[in-house]
Amino acid sequence: MNYQKISRRYYLDNLRWMTVILVVIYHTLMMYSSVIPLGTLGESGMMYPTDSIMYFLYPWFMILLFIISGISARISLTNHPDEDKNFLKKRTVRYLVPSTLGLLAFEWIQGYISMKLSDSFLTLGAVPKLGLYLIMSVSGTGVLWYLQTLWIFSLVLVIIRKITKKREKLYPKTEHFPFWGMLLLMIPAFGFAQILNLPIVVYRLGLYGFAFFAGYYLFAHEEAVEKLSKYCTPLLIISVLTGISYTVFFWGQNFADNPVLNHPFSIAYAWLMCLSLLGFGKKYLNFQNSVTAWFSSKSFGLYVFHYLGMSACAYLLHEYTSLPFILCGVLSLISSFGIGWGLYEIISRIPVLRWFVLGIRKERSQEHVQ
């Protein structure tokens, strides 16, 4: 079935880079929190008011990015009729190469810092240097799990389209999907959150896969997002109140692990917030200017490199200074943006290395995380 070419939806670009900035803020707060003890510098048992920001953000921001990625995949395949044969190839270069070969080429540095933060070297004294290098490389995966997971979903999508010979039977049926139906999708979202979870908790293939394909098959319809935009104000108010209640209810517990992670309350809150932000974006963020265009073009680089800048700064401050917690956090946040964007500008200009680390072949790409 043929569809009209889809015009650019600037609200997706804006939601994406804004969410990436929230990811940066979250990771900085996480580094100095005791809620997630492994690989962080938080004082055991200490809770800070800023921890509430982490509780508020964590349940939904990656789900939203996967929904946007699903919508982006639909737009790409619709606008380029011959895209099927290149779709997986492009995404292999964009997602899989940086998150595999890029670990060996550059991200082992992140692995070194992460292992220093968690004192992992204390148990690896007898490991040969080559073994240490490989361990550091794998430990440097960090935020690149998102790219790995996106590649898996892209592969599954190509397989589905191959099996169905591109016949889109489900997509046309979701064009007039009701608003209440979108709300009730939190029920299957909860179901998918319980399956396909790997031992490393960030790899929530069930839930994130559901979000990706919900974006591809449902929210790629402008009519669906238009319905969300009509109710975005009350929906956003309800979502914020739900988020506050969620934060109070689970305060002091590790929100990034079970039983909190896949609790019905967590999934319901996450789904409500994603719906409200999609609607809010459609209504208020569907524009582009020089500022939004700049942030959009830099969001991928910021996502890839921010954690290295933040964790390196946090480690050095912890080891060699006695600065107060708040100042360390501020300096680490500044480093996240400064070093993150700086490394992107440098590495995106270096032949070969930019292919390994960023999936860029010849010229700096203006693509965003999708």
SS3 204: strand
**Counting Cβ atoms within 10 Å, is residue 103 exposed (0-12), middle (13-18) or buried (19+)?**
buried
Q: What are 259-273's pLDDT values in tens digits?
A: 999 999 999 999 999
Q: What are 113-133's pLDDT values in tens digits?
A: 999 988 887 777 778 889 999
Q: What are phi and psi of 182, to 5 degrees?
A: -65, -35
In a domain, 116, yes or no: no
Q: What are 52-93's pLDDT values in tens digits?
A: 999 999 999 999 999 999 999 999 998 876 667 789 999 999
Which tokens is 38 given? Answer: 């492994």
Cβ atoms < 10 Å from Cβ of 301: 26
In a domain, 122, yes or no: no
pLDDT higher than threshold 50 for residue 35: yes
In a domain, 117, yes or no: no
Distances (CA, A) of 281 to 11, 16, 67, 210, 368: 5, 10, 13, 21, 17
In a domain, 133, yes or no: no
pLDDT higher than threshold 50 for residue 31: yes
Q: Give the residue among 274, 273, 255 at the shortest CA–CA distance from 52.
A: 255
Q: Are 226 and 274 in contact (CB under 8 A)?
A: no
pLDDT of residue 37: 72
SS3 197: strand
In a domain, 1, yes or no: no
The whole-model pTM stands at 0.94
Domain count for the chain, please give it.
Answer: 1
In a domain, 136, yes or no: no
Distance CA 24, CA 309 (A): 10
Q: Break the chain down into helix, strand, coil percent, rounded to 5.
A: 70, 0, 30
Domain that holds residue 178: 10-99+141-358
